[in-house]
A and B are shown apart, each in its own frame.
Chain A
Amino acid sequence: MYTALVSRVLPRFSVLSGRHFSAAAIPAPNTQPEVHYNKLFINNEWHDAVSGKTFPTINPTTGEIICHVAEADRADVEKAVKAAQNAFKLGSPWRRMDASHRGLLLSRLADAIERDAAYLAELETLDNGKPYAVSYSVDIPNVVKCLRYYAGWADKWEGKTIPIDGNFFCYTRHEPIGVCGQIIPWNFPLLMQAWKLGPALATGNTVVMKVAEQTPLTALYVASLIKEVGFPEGVVNILSGMGPTAGAAIASHMDIDKVAFTGSTEVGHLIQQASGSSNLKKVTLELGGKSPNIILSDANLEDAVEQSHFALFFNQGQCCCAGSRTFVQADIYDEFVERSVVRANRRVVGNPFDLKTEQGPQIDEEQFNKILGYIGSGKREGAKLMCGGGVAADKGYFIQPTVFGNVQDNMTIAQEEIFGPVMQILKFETLEEVVSRANDTKYGLAAAVFTKDIDKAHYVSNTLRAGTVWVNCYDVFGAQAPFGGYKASGNGRELGEYGLDNYTEVKTVTISVPQKNS
């Protein structure tokens, strides 16, 4: 992810994340960072689970337990919601705080994360398996930028005065929704936390956040920073726990006013149902994808190959926006496949703390097995395995960079989200054909087109049913630009000014006046 951002972090060394990071720009990591926080964060205090239960969090590089973490369930969600409700009460410090001061707190949080960047990157890599060079140069800087971006919005999220008919004075207030449940995934633990906290706190909500059970550690450390920089108690509560228990309790809670979920489409369905059967809480969802990446024959081939490789393999293929259907125009198809295989074979898989590593392990055994299952299905259904396809190490959850040629639209690997380092390359003849095939999916998160032709670029970008379209680039993100899905890829948008909408109730106030004047 974040090509452009990577290139800005390391302008001289890396245009694409696929190339090696410069060791000079990145401090040598401590490969065994100490874990300071493993409890539930409620009311700015650390709590054991009410049940006393804990669960292990695993280092995916080795399959070994890092430590045990308190396991939140319904009773802990109850406590956290109470705290968040209390923090949101009329007259509370949080409700009476100047908006600019909310912004200042967010800004201080960004500063604290920046201060502890190396440690957080180490911990992220330990718990998630992503290469340290990426954690340090992509994830952390973007966390900091996202929080700073929303810090700036806090006192700029303006209502309007409205020239309503009649002798009335009418204005709107942008008010926070209230207690927001936020359930975040394991693929970008810190970044997804920032995407959720930034807009929710800028707009003045309080938060009960459940972090993914695979990657609870960095979020809990950030909790300590939230306290350190001075957020009032109860404004942010962070619970480590499982989806079916803690997550379900959040989705169905009668006193949670809004729930935001990032994760699988399957669970997204459950969240929206739970809202419907409980209190009709607002729901925003950022779900799966099977994003088409369309390469026209006039594209710069070298660039297209590299970008397409990056689009799929970045973050071990564990991106909701992964370009997992690479449509290549017929006249360059063979050349493109050949070069993509060469590139995949060159990909450095290994210890994520090694700065040369491009690809670490998958997040856990379940994902590891699921991906291997998809590779098997691809072979069975007649796609041509061009490289990879197997396990890449004796221990840990490493999978070889895998490329399939001759992939057909009806194959499982062309329809379902694999969330692993497995690239599908499909062939097309005409523009109309490829747009129709690209759109023939229940997903609509992202898409890309590579071409030098301005008309083709417009045609494709305007006709694809996807929340984000990249032209001659991929995974270019900025806190300023909205992100989210059409169709079953989600509901609502995160980031940008649009991201504030999802955390706002608009109140229209109308006052009778004796006489109106323009």
Chain B
Amino acid sequence: MRSSSVGHLAINPGRSLKSQSQICWKNPTDAGKSTTDPPHPHTHTYIHAHTHTTHTHTHIGMTSSKIEMPGEVKSDPAALMASLQLMPAPVPNPEIKYTKIFINNEWQDSVSGKVFPTYNPATGEQIIEVQEADKADVDKAVQAARLAFSLGSVWRTMDASERGRLLSKLADLVERDSVYLATIESLNSGKPFLPTLFVDLQGTIKTLRYFAGYADKIHGSTIPMDGQFLTFTRYEPIGVCGQIIPWNFPLMMTAWKLGPALACGNTIVLKPAEQTPLTCLYIAALIKEAGFPPGVVNILPGFGPTAGAAMAAHKGIDKVAFTGSTEVGKVIQETAGKTNLKRVTLELGGKSPNIIFADSDLDLAVEQAHQGVFFNAGQCCTAGSRIYVEEPIYDEFVKRSVERAKRKIVGSPFDPTTEQGPQISREQQNRVLEFVQSGISEGAKLECGGKALGLKGFYVEPTVFSNVTDDMRIAREEIFGPVQQIMKFKTIEEVIERANNSDYGLAAAVFTNDINKAITVSTAMQAGTVWINCYNAMSSQCPFGGYKMSGNGRELGEIGLKEYSEVKTITMKMVTKNS
């Protein structure tokens, strides 16, 4: 794998990576970094190697002239060769160390004695069996979390800065073990190894570091209230938080949930997705190693209808945060309503519009629109799955998008040239293929793809539909697969209305060089995130979440802390008052 890339690299040192990093956590203002960029010691030199290798094989986007990977790009061939030596490879035959339930910093078998198999979606083969948590295990975990949260506990009396320090240590440990974690993540989720290492792991580390820094900066205020009083607010942790996370970004979603909850001082009962429990359990071991007190974080592999439902209904849980489908989100909120009115935050599905005006940079728009829907095998809640293209450039846009999709390399997650791995499961693969059939039968034009790949795993060909109309199922429902819908529009008013005509409101994008169009569309979109001339540009500093049925609340950024805080107003009578 290394030797094959070396030749390409040396031949094409000038080519550079770009759009992957937008999917990944690079600030879009970094576009256009050059060789004079500062070194980023934390990202290690092997990124350079990756940058070029990736490029050479076009495995992640490559049309724009921008370079957005962190780290300097070396144009000197000798330096390039040197950095290539550090090109990371997955851990061969990685040992799976943790398959049990993590409660009170200890590994436990399930109360029922049940286990469930977890699979490699690239082959369909079982990797290992994992302990299966159910209601009884949730009870145990909640008890541990409650104890860890009791007044006077180590966790409650800890300095906020020390909570930050523990999170920061956790980030360092994830960084230390990032190659191993990326290997397991690839193995268990099917996502290609290199993007996992450079996108998911970096995103995980940066999120933990970001919230580490916030722990001692969550300020209450003193308030100039009327009368002879001193009033101040305290931001207190909510208590025991249930967190239920999905399989599409197992590690990153773990970090999104743990970071703000722990920075604010909560305790946690977290259920990873049953498809992808392995990396999350390894994080549990790192949590213990970092020195979090017992019971602060408890991690329970299990299924939604059993363990997940037990969490949503538990009276000892003060807040539940869920990322997943809108369908399950509704159940969670209903359950909270029926039980103890626990706080609920939801990050759900989407059918995000991506609006391309005729005046945009077409190369950029095609590539970004492609990445916007195909990234992570289409398994992104933010996927730009309704692409609205202005009439004059529609045909050209479709043509180029089809060319791009046909060029996409689908294959083993551990092949460094692979851009797209398998879908997560047979069930998801079938669901995606069923959507493709509905597109064909409802009259959309299948431009390319549309079939399962003749491989063992759960692969789907990169698929593009043109002549899609708003009433088709593929234009209304979340497919969560590598299927691109391209629609035509004529006016800005029309496209705004059509883009907003959806139950969802997670993300949106607009491509244009006209500042007025950019501002008009971004203001009008009913979506929690709007990207202008970029897509999936996310970073731990920026809030993320949904309008309408795409969710409730926001994750990341300062606002993400609000979802894990109770505000207490304390008013004290004073004898006299002075300004």
Contacts and interface: CB of A to CB of B under 8 A. Distances in A.
Interface string B519-544: 11001100000000000000011000
A63 to B, nearest CB: 40
A513 B209 contact: no
Interface string B162-201: 0011001000000000000000000000000000000000
B214 interface: yes
Contacts of A99: 541
Interface string A491-513: 00000010000000000000101
Interface residues of B, number: 44
A147 to B, nearest CB: 12
Contacts of B230: 458
Contacts of A100: 206, 209-210, 540-541
Nearest to B577: A462
B217 interface: yes
Nearest to B38: A93
Interface of A: 8, 91-94, 96-101, 103-104, 107-108, 145, 148-149, 151-156, 158, 169, 229-230, 232, 454-455, 458-459, 462-463, 478-480, 497, 511, 513-517
Given A156-B213, A156-B541, A463-B578, A98 B30 contact: yes
Contacts of B168: 107, 148
Interface string B116-139: 000000000000000000000000
Given A98-B70, A156-B213, A455-B574, 12 more contacts: A96-B33, A100-B209, A101-B40, A104-B209, A152-B212, A153-B217, A155-B210, A230-B41, A479-B216, A480-B216, A514-B516, A515-B520
A98 B27 contact: yes
B287 to A, nearest CB: 20
B166 to A, nearest CB: 12
B30 A149 contact: no
Contacts of A513: 516, 519-520, 523
Contacts of B441: none
B442 interface: no
B162 to A, nearest CB: 9
A8 B38 contact: no
A426 B442 CA distance: 92
A103 B213 contact: yes
16 contacts: A93-B36, A93-B37, A94-B38, A98-B70, A99-B541, A103-B209, A104-B42, A107-B168, A108-B41, A148-B165, A149-B216, A153-B217, A455-B574, A479-B161, A480-B160, A513-B523
B558 interface: yes
B434 interface: no
A509 to B, nearest CB: 12
Contacts of B3: none
A439 to B, nearest CB: 12
B575 interface: yes
Contacts of B26: 98
B225 interface: no
A232 B38 contact: yes
B38 A96 contact: yes
Contacts of B41: 108, 229-230
B572 interface: yes
A97 B37 CA distance: 8
Contacts of A8: 159
A96 B541 contact: no
Nearest to A231: B38
A148 B30 CA distance: 25
A240 B520 CA distance: 55
Interface string B493-519: 000000000000000000000011001
Contacts of B164: 148, 152
Given A148-B165, A149-B216, A151-B213, A101 B541 contact: no
Contact of B161 (A92, A101, A158, A480): A480
A480 B38 contact: no
Contacts of B214: 152, 156
B520 A497 contact: no
B578 A149 contact: no
Contacts of A101: 38, 40, 42, 70
Contacts of B572: 454, 458
Residue among A101, A145, A454, A516 with max Cβ neighbours from chain B (10 Å): A101
Contacts of A92: 36
A148 B161 contact: yes
A517 B523 contact: yes
B97 interface: no
A452 B402 CA distance: 77
Contacts of A154: 213
A458 B572 CA distance: 10
A156 B515 contact: no
A298 to B, nearest CB: 15
Contacts of A104: 42, 209
A232 B26 CA distance: 20
Given A100-B210, A152-B212, A458 B42 contact: no
Given A145-B161, A151-B213, A152-B212, A169 B37 contact: no
A96 B37 contact: yes
B575 A459 contact: yes
A158 B520 contact: no
B39 A230 contact: yes
B537 to A, nearest CB: 13
A169 to B, nearest CB: 6
Given A158-B558, A517-B523, A511 B38 contact: no
B93 interface: no
Given A96-B33, A104-B42, A511 B213 contact: no
Interface string B221-262: 000000000100000000000000000000000000000000
Contacts of A478: 161
Nearest to A152: B213
A497 B575 contact: no
Given A93-B36, A155-B541, A458-B575, A169 B558 contact: no
Interface in B63-104: 70
Contacts of A232: 38
A454 B573 CA distance: 10
Nearest to B160: A480
A103 B541 CA distance: 13
B4 interface: no
